[in-house]
Amino acid sequence: MLDWLLSSIDPSRGHEVGFAISWHARLMTLAWGVLVPAAIFAARYMKIVPGQDWPRELDNKTWWHFHWMGQALAYAISLIGLGLVLGRGENPFQLNLHTVLGYVVLAFGTCQVLLGIFRGSKGGPTARATDGSLHGDHYDMTPKRLMFERVHRSLGYLALLLGMITILVGMWNANAPRWMWVVLVNYWMFLVVASVIAQIRGNAVDTYQAIWGPDPSLPGNKLPKMGWRTVRPSEKTNGQSGQTLEGAE
């Protein structure tokens, strides 16, 4: 069993990778295989955390810190990973599936970080505008914010999927040992199972309500909710207790 795990996925080829490629592979897998999916999970399912007394306690920043710090770290690590392959002194930009996918993933990652940075102002009682009003791109759900959420979500899931494929193609090209495939696929399966459970439990909470609450007079609550299969706690019945959360405060 141990021999099987330590041997390469394709026994007919060797597994000879030098320093630059082995560290490129480790760093890229850490970034796109481990950190990016975990940071997306946090953004989707941790907007209201267990024990939080929502809606009395709004805008819990756990998801936010996990998400932006995790993604910023993943992005920084990917740039080091890219620097390692480019620093090998071999002709860059050779046309093969892994290289093309790799540059597309890095381009999407760059767009995601830029979209995040330039997503606009927050507004609301905790981040008032300079004139003292509640106005802000998120609080008002301005066209800019609506566009950000649509594009950032779609591009984010696409980048995640392409990142996973890029890793698998890279591992195949480098003829990685079987234990690496087993560990990585098990980690992804764990996240898939955790996501299914969190989805069924109604943890994919609408960002607007998680942050600003259920008051129907709030600008964002007058618009249809954002995101695929997200839930507005004010509209859902609590599956566990059968009570509705509407009018909790």
Burial class (CB in 10 A: 0-12, 13-18, 19+), 223: exposed
For the record, the structure tokens of 97 come out as: 């599936």
Q: Extract the runs of DSSP E, i.e. beta strands, from 81-211.
A: none
Q: Is 120 in the site for ligand HEM (CB under 6 A)?
A: no
Q: What are phi and psi of 177, to 5 degrees?
A: -65, 155
Of the candidate residues 59, 120, 225, 227, the single one contacting ligand HEM (CB under 6 A): 227
Report cis status (omega within 30 of 0) of the bond before 224. no
Q: Is 72 in the site for ligand HEM (CB under 6 A)?
A: yes
Of the candidate residues 85, 147, 191, 248, the single one contacting ligand HEM (CB under 6 A): 85
For the record, the structure tokens of 210 come out as: 């998680």
Total number of residues binding ligand HEM (CB under 6 A)? 52
Q: Is 145 in the site for ligand HEM (CB under 6 A)?
A: no
Q: Is 171 in the site for ligand HEM (CB under 6 A)?
A: yes
- Binding segment for ligand HEM (CB under 6 A), chosen from 8-16, 28-36, 48-56, 124-132, is 28-36
Of the candidate residues 37, 38, 77, 109, the single one contacting ligand HEM (CB under 6 A): 109
How far apart are CB 212 and ligand HEM at their closest, in Å?
12
The residue behind tokens 């927050």 is: 122
Report cis status (omega within 30 of 0) of the bond before 55. yes
140 contacts 128 by C-beta, under 8 angstroms: no
Q: Which residues bind ligand HEM (CB under 6 A)?
A: 21, 24-25, 28-29, 32, 36, 40, 43-44, 67-68, 71-72, 75, 78, 82, 85-86, 92-94, 96, 98-99, 102-103, 105-106, 109, 112-113, 116, 119, 149, 152-153, 156-157, 159-160, 163, 166-167, 170-171, 173-174, 176, 207, 226-227
